[in-house]
Amino acid sequence: MGMFGNQCEQAANGVGCSISGVCGKKPDVAALQDLLLYELKGISLYAAKARELGAKDAGIDRFVVEGLFTTVTNVDFDASHIEKIIRKGIEVRGQAKALYEKACSAKGAAPAAVNAPQATFTPAGDLAGLVRQGEEHGLSTLHVNDDIRSVIEILTFGLKGMAAYMDHALILGRSDDEVLAFFHKALAATTDASLGLMDFVGLSMECGKQNLRTMEILNQGHVETYGHPVPTPVQLGTRAGKAILVSGHDLKMLEELLKQTEGKGINIYTHGEMIPAHAYPGLKKYTHLAGNFGGAWQDQAKEFVNFPGSIIFNTNCIQRPADSYKDRLFTWGLVQWPDVTHIEGWDFSAVISKALDLPGFPENPGQEILVGFGHNAVLGVADKVIDAVKAGAIKHFFLIGGCDGAKPGRNYYTEFAEKVPKDCVILTLACGKYRFNKLDFGDIGGIPRLLDVGQCNDAYSAIQIAVALAGAFNCGVNDLPLSFILSWYEQKAVVILLTLFHLGIKNIKLGPSLPAFITPNVLNFLVENFNVGPIGNVDDDLKAALAA
Ligand code: SF3
């Protein structure tokens, strides 16, 4: 059996999954996701040409964005659902072709032939046939050079990550034409045998740029809908009453659930990447947004057993559910798991009635932790921060963040945070923060030493903080006393890295292991241009960062 998965950090033995995904993905689902990606390229071949002629279609754009997000790690594990998407995709490809042809005829030009097999393939009539097609088209044979293939994978995974953020933005009614055009241009480029290594390097850097814009519109969507996050204590204990747990990244879904549960005696708890929700004025005004339950995504199977209410995932990262809680688990949006009830649309009554049937929690208050240090909050006390740096009270900033995961090497991040000297501030974001966000770091002259910037997409906010600090000190971001200690897991982390590279940010330490899809030559390129390096020993890495 061949390799079918190497796109995330848990790829077996740091190379690739073969028999079954370490994430729980079965070979048939992996093959169908590959076929969906193959089909999306066919759609984008037409959509890119149509856009060159000024023609676009929001439905086609959205299908490609959602299709890409569907193939991100820990999103959709349901073969029959992916089959439905593929069959719909053939209709969408026809619409994209018609759009292109209509645009040509409006200009009085003859449409160019689109002969790439992605634009012409016919899906098999049954699921087994689709799986076989997916296996055939999983690994592109267009380029034989391993380095080119490696950069194409970086670009593809970057596009998948960016699609996740664009999907959230679209749900909030935000969009950007240039970003949508780039999805098509870049997907189409992966089918072009005439392009070489540096073309794909350029496209990968452009992907980083387009993702910065995507995170910006998502940030605008959040802030304009729910207000700027404000520093807010989050309760880790429980409140007496029925309970629903929300996991994922989507704030709009949480808001709808909060509205529909008002006055019903149900408390809503956040899980994983939903914890920053507590800091948004438009969400924290709901008094039944009670607290946060559990840690990062990889602990869900052991923690959800103890959640006495219903549980809903609105984006990744879902894992194989244990039988003990499968019947009270729901999915929404693009997340799907076979035999787990999926909520279509915005009616959460099934989740609510399940929660009402379950015992709920007793009153049991616990620790509180602070969230809500987005750029608006941090820059609101910028004068204090700058004075503290000038006076020598703050010596260095560490951005310790990214995705969490199950590998034992991830203790590095806990140990690193613990060993950061007392005159340094830690910025954190994404689910990697659960490695240390319950520790007491104290403060420096009233400025907390641990500042939780938010979700992974709030890397945008962290970048704004870094840029503002650089402006205040009249230097570049690379000249600031700031070190990036990042953990990666899936494709959203890949695109954030591309964004940091696009911004020219150097000296990033990355772990717990380097991506399986990066060849030694491509790694050398990244080292030479960005001095990116693997995490090593905490004491040595800390010493080197403080000496820089
Ligand atoms: Fe975490 Fe899945 Fe990446 Fe959003 S939630 S950072 S792994």
Q: Which residue's alpha carbon is nearest to atom 7 within ligand 1?
A: 403
Centroid of ligand 1 to alpha carbon of 403 (angstroms): 5
Please, what sign has the CA dihedral across residues 230, 235, 240, 244? positive
Side-chain half-sphere of 398: how many Cα atoms within 13 Å?
Answer: 27
- Counting atoms of ligand 1 from 1, which one is nearest the CA of 492? 3
Residue 321: DSSP 8-state: P
State the distance from the centre of ligand 1 to the C-alpha of 294, rounded, in angstroms: 15
The strand ranges marked E within 380-520 are: 396-402, 424-429, 443-444, 447-448, 450-454, 482-487, 509-511
Report the pocket of ligand 1 as residue ranges, CB < 6 Å: 249, 272-273, 297, 316-317, 403-404, 430-431, 455-456, 489-490, 492-493
Ligand 1 centroid to residue 392 C-alpha, Å: 35
Give CA–CA dist 10/447, Å, rounded: 36
Peptide bond into 512 cis (omega under 30): yes
Distance 388 CA to ligand 1 centre (A): 32
If one residue of 490, 491, 494, 510 were mutated to test the ligand 1 pocket, choosing by the most ligand atoms within 8 A of its CB, it would be 490
Decide if 521 contacts 22 (C-beta within 8 A). Answer: no
Beta carbons of 398 and 453 less than 8 angstroms apart? no
H or E, element range at 232? strand 232-235
Q: Which atom of ligand 1 is nearest to the CA of 405?
A: 7
Quote the DSSP letter at residue 277.
G
Rounded Cα gap, residues 455 and 402, in angstroms: 9
C-alpha of residue 164 to centroid of ligand 1, in Å: 11
In 3D space, the residue among 155, 22, 89 whose CA is nearest the CA of residue 495 turns out to be: 155
From 167, 456, 460, 510, the mutation candidate for ligand 1 (largest count of ligand atoms within 8 A of CB) is: 456
* Cα separation, 320 vs 537, whole angstroms: 33
Mutation test of ligand 1: which of 316, 455, 457, 510 has the most ligand atoms closer than 8 Å to its C-beta? 316
| Pair 258, 288: CB distance under 8 Å | yes
Token pair for residue 430?
């994404």
Cα(462) to centroid(ligand 1), Å: 16
What are the start-end ranges of the E strands in 276-371?
289-292, 310-313, 329-332, 341-343, 368-371
How far, in Å, from the CA of 383 to the mean position of ligand 1? 32
> Rounded to whole angstroms, how far apart are CA atoms 198 and 145?
13
pLDDT score, position 5: 59
Distance 387 CA to ligand 1 centre (A): 34
Of all protein residues, whose CA lies closest to atom 6 belonging to ligand 1? 403
Say if CB 465 and CB 379 are below 8 A apart.
Answer: yes
Q: Which of 492, 494, 495, 496 to mutate to test the pocket of ligand 1 (most atoms within 8 A of CB)?
A: 492
pTM score > 0.85 for this model? Answer: yes
Longest dimension (CA), the chain: 72
- The amino acid at residue 251 is L
Minimum-distance ligand 1 atom for the alpha carbon of 431: 1
Question: What's the CA-to-centroid distance between 404 and ligand 1, angstroms?
Answer: 7
Ligand 1 mutation pick, 318, 404, 461, max ligand atoms within 8 A of CB = 404
Per-residue pLDDT of the chain (548 residues; tens, 9 = 90+): 344 556 656 666 555 666 566 666 788 999 999 999 999 999 999 999 999 999 999 999 999 999 999 999 899 999 999 999 999 999 999 999 999 999 999 999 999 999 999 999 999 999 999 999 999 987 667 888 999 999 999 999 999 999 999 999 999 999 999 999 999 999 999 999 999 999 999 999 999 999 999 999 999 999 999 999 999 999 999 999 999 999 999 999 999 999 999 999 999 999 999 999 999 999 999 999 999 999 999 899 999 999 999 999 999 999 999 999 999 999 999 999 999 999 999 999 999 999 999 999 999 999 999 999 999 999 999 999 999 999 999 999 999 999 988 877 889 999 999 999 999 999 999 999 999 999 999 999 999 999 999 999 999 999 999 999 999 999 999 999 999 999 988 899 999 999 999 999 999 999 888 888 899 999 999 999 999 999 999 999 999 999 97
Residue 385 to residue 473: CA distance in whole angstroms = 11
Q: What is the CA radius of gyration of the chain?
A: 23
CA distance 531 to 527: 4
Ligand 1 centroid – CA 135 distance (Å): 27
The residue contributing the CA closest to ligand 1 atom 2 is 317
pLDDT of 17 reads: 61
Closest by alpha carbon to 360, among 497, 213, 242, 486? Answer: 242
Q: Which residues of 395-421 are buried (b: 16+ CB within 10 A; e: fewer)?
A: ebbbbbbbbbbbbeebebbbebbeebe
- DSSP H helices in 289-408: 300-304, 323-326, 349-357, 375-380, 382-390
Cis before residue 317, ω within 30 degrees of 0?
Answer: yes
Report the amino acid identity of residue 302: K
Residue 290 CA, ligand 1 centroid: distance in Å: 22
Distance of CA 315 to the CA centre of its chain: 9
CA atoms of 85 and 96, how far apart (whole Å):
16
> Which ligand 1 atom is at minimum distance from the Cα of 430?
6
* pLDDT given at position 2: 43
- Scanning 227-262, the segments in alpha helix (DSSP H) are 251-261
Check: CB of residue 373 under 8 Å from CB of residue 452. yes
Signed CA dihedral, 507, 509, 515, 520: sign only: positive
Partners of 394 in the β-ladder: none
Residue nearest atom 3 in ligand 1 by C-alpha distance: 403
What's the gap in Å between 7 CA and the centre of ligand 1? 14
Going from the Cα of 298 to the center of ligand 1, the distance in angstroms, rounded, reads 10
Contact 424, 395 (CB under 8 A): yes
